[in-house]
Amino acid sequence: MKPLEGIKVVDLTSFLAAPTVQRVLGDWGADVIKVEPPIGDPARTQGSVFKMPYSDEENPAFDIPNANKRFLCLNLKKEKGKEVLYKLLETADVIVTNYRTKALEKLGFSYEELSKRYPGLIFAQILGYGENGPEKDTAGFDATAYVCRGGILGSTNERGESPINSVNGFGDFQASMCLAAGICAALVAKSKTGKGDKVTVSLHHTALFMMSIAVVSSQFGNQYPKSRKEVVNPFNNTYKSKDGRWMVFCAPEYDRDYPKIMKMLGREDLVDHEDYKNCDELNRRGKNREIIEIISKQMEQKNLDELLKLFKENDIACEKGYTPDEILLDEQAWANDCLRKIQYPTGNEWTLTTNPVRIKSLGERPEIKLSKPLGFHTEEILTQYGYGKDEIKLMKEDGVVK
């Protein structure tokens, strides 16, 4: 039995962060019904942004957040459409949405309204900036509420250089996993009390939590963005190889590993150097740049493969900076089913990423059911909820369903 088998989830979402929550819940066995308006989720055509196909038969960008769902098309601007959704919610355990609160109030699906109608329903919402404050009704996306307001844009670049353009959806997916965890906690509580709850996650708050070390330490003078030439621990830093590739090696116990690393890099003469061998003293004397430049010079004498071999043979954590195309060839990712080849109805085979949470009862390769065209399961779902053929036909004619 799958962990969430028997749990019913109504998906009233669009784009990336919120739909991915139900993708995860669906992976774990929940019955997820995605409710889309007649124009569909705008994410259905976002493949063009990422240079990916986006037809009804082949839509990898849409599959990432929308696998393992059923698809119902409802016009919620019509009373009959609202009636259908209310009927779904009568037996649902969870509704997940990223509609803004004012829009939900206008439609009649706010938390206040639904909690009165369905006391056992868990209402889960992805927000841009949270429920309070001057920005609570402001539109928020990954690039703005998470990357910019959350501090990533102003912290992760090399000091003095232009800021990064973050990978699409980087914050969205982190918020997704946070809300999935919150929903599971609420489901545990419901199993004990029978009562629903309200669970919210904002992109902004998620970013601040992921930035906890930077935010909290800034009170004590730890400033971002940093220069790689001035980091506190030179053994937790980026370095460039002879063949022009960047890598990181990470040895948090600087004092312990200093002699070993100096010998590895061919600078035995510095093993007992008073300015460099102790991390606190290194920082007190302001010698960080000196030792980093020494390490850099030694690293630049070897190609990337040589450096990785050297550090791993000496049990010093290190990795090259992988590019996405290199990730597709990474044997470690394939060995752990982090990546999986999926065949599409077109006959093409593409690689998708998988859910990172592994649950033994789901097996080594949890099922991935690709998304379907807009309204694909509409008749099936309406029939399941008691609507007859004539009534469904009339709803189609009146533009209630598609």
**Residues with catalytic function:** 172
Quick one: angle between helices 17-27 and 170-193, nearest 10? Answer: 50
Phi, psi of 54 (to 5 degrees): -145, 50
What's the alpha-carbon Rg for the chain, to the nearest Å? 26
Report the C-alpha gap between 121 and 51 in whole angstroms.
Answer: 39
Quote the tokens at residue 50.
Answer: 């990422």
Q: Following DSSP, what letter does each residue of 109-139 receive, concatenated? A: --HHHHHHH-TTPEEEEEESS-SSSTTTTS-
Q: Following DSSP, what letter does each residue of 142-181 receive, concatenated? A: IIIIIIITTSSTTTSSPTTSPPP-PPTTHHHHHHHHHHHH
Cβ atoms of residues 34 and 66 within 8 Å:
yes
Report the C-alpha gap between 64 and 46 in whole angstroms.
Answer: 12
Query: Kind of pairing, strands 236-240 and 246-250?
Result: antiparallel
Report the C-alpha gap between 25 and 125 in whole angstroms.
Answer: 14
Report the C-alpha gap between 64 and 48 in whole angstroms.
Answer: 15
